[in-house]
Amino acid sequence: MQAKIPQTTRAKAELLENGAIFVTNVKDLPFLADHSTAGPSTGLNCIFLRFGDGRLVRLRLAETQQETPYTYDVERKMIQRKGRDWYPAKQVESLLHCPEQVFLNLDSTCIYHCKFCATPVIQSHVTHRILKPKVVTRTIKRVADKGLSGIALTTGVFSSPTESVKHMCLVVKAIRKEFGDALPIGVEPFANEEKHVDMLYAAGADEIKINVESYDPEIFAIVCNEFDYKNNLKMIRYAGKVFGENRACSNIIIGLGEKEETINKGAEALADWGVIASLRSLNLNPLIKSSLQEALNNRASRPSAERLILHATKHKEILEKRGLNVTKFRTMCLKCTGCDIVPQRDL
């Protein structure tokens, strides 16, 4: 099994293990670095590199050479490892957060405090802004002719889950009105009632992501202590039922101190509901690192390349056994692939 892993997939896993790259001459990069207000790299500057036979990886820009063994030589378009040429690579333009997609965070504030998430931490440094439907459609128009293939929407919870979902529905409807069915729309809400899933489906969303975060109930109770573990899984299962197979997905974080078998069990349970997991490396974002370690008794660690490959390989088996297909996703992370080893795309 291991012998069949493409060399470039191993290289991608190694890059993800470290998560950062030092760029020799940042100002000469062809495209600006991406600065996110949501997702694993909240508050950090990142670039996308494509190398080998189509592998795409998103990496944080290291501030010093000492932080990482990887360097991107902009002039020679070359990834170097420990000072030696490793893979030729091209920077890929991020339209808005990621290549080919407009992935927008509708609200950069959140009333919750998930321990692995930097959104509540950066909100004290940013002006509260809710992206109104008109602003979103105008933003999409600006990049529509740059190879745009889909729209993805996420949001913090600014007052209540229902209010956030209502706002997301208004945005989905506005996009549909403006662009018809030309662009698939993926949504990543916080949902704690079935009506939230129904509302988004009725508004016209094509794909949905509701995150497991940790499939280990004890870890979930620590890192998402404001949420109910069972109810969260119920929402994901319901989303799989409403949106259908290959249209619902969910992050399971690797690196919170869970057992290997827990991750596989989580991916299996989801697949039984027609939902595809994104097995996501924990990002020990400097904004939350010490508080997360304190909450988890220092169990948090970014997963090794070997762990990423093992889980992606097992996940591929799980998906194939249940006839699920990652390549059908048209939006969000399973389409982008920059942060994970994605089965059926990377191996």
Footprint of ligand SF4 on this chain (CB under 6 A)?
A: 39-40, 58, 97-98, 103, 110, 112-114, 117, 119-120, 156-157, 190, 332-333, 336, 338-339
**Residue number with CB closer to ligand SF4 (113 or 302):** 113
**Residue number with CB closer to ligand SF4 (117 or 270):** 117
Is residue 186 within 8 A of residue 151, CB to CB? The reply is: yes
> Exposure of 238 by Cβ count < 10 A (0-12 exposed, 13-18 middle, 19+ buried)?
buried
**Residue number with CB closer to ligand SF4 (39 or 69):** 39
Strands 101-105 and 150-154: parallel
Strands 34-35 and 70-73: unpaired
**Residue number with CB closer to ligand SF4 (1 or 31):** 31
- At residue 111's C-alpha, the angle toward residues 255 and 269, to 5°, is 40
Q: How far is the CB of 85 from ligand SF4 (least distance, A)?
A: 26
Q: How far is the CB of 92 from ligand SF4 (least distance, A)?
A: 11
Q: How far is the CB of 217 from ligand SF4 (least distance, A)?
A: 17
**Residue number with CB closer to ligand SF4 (12 or 97):** 97
**Residue number with CB closer to ligand SF4 (71 or 232):** 232
Q: How far is the CB of 272 from ligand SF4 (least distance, A)?
A: 24
**Residue number with CB closer to ligand SF4 (82 or 125):** 125
Q: How far is the CB of 197 from ligand SF4 (least distance, A)?
A: 16
Q: How far is the CB of 4 from ligand SF4 (least distance, A)?
A: 24
Q: How far is the CB of 117 from ligand SF4 (least distance, A)?
A: 3
Q: How far is the CB of 332 from ligand SF4 (least distance, A)?
A: 6
Q: How far is the CB of 274 from ligand SF4 (least distance, A)?
A: 20
**25 vs 300: CA distance, rounded Å:** 32
**Residue number with CB closer to ligand SF4 (75 or 339):** 339
**Residue number with CB closer to ligand SF4 (58 or 330):** 58
Q: What is the 3-state secondary structure (H, E, C) of the chain?
A: CHHHCCHHHHHHHHHHHHCEEEECCHHHCCCCCEECCCCCCCCCEEEEEEECCCEEEEEEECCCHHHCCEEEECCCCEEEECCEEEEEEEEECCCEEECCEEEEECECCCCCCCCCCCHHHHCCCCCCCECCHHHHHHHHHHHCCCCCCEEEEECCCCCCHHHHHHHHHHHHHHHHHHHCCCCCEEEECCCCCHHHHHHHHHHCCCEEECCCECCCHHHHHHHCCCCCHHHHHHHHHHHHHHHCCCCEEEEEEECCCCCHHHHHHHHHHHHHCCEEEEEEECCCCCCCHHHHHHHCCCCCCCCCHHHHHHHHHHHHHHHHHCCCCHHHCCCHHHHHCCCCCCCCCCC
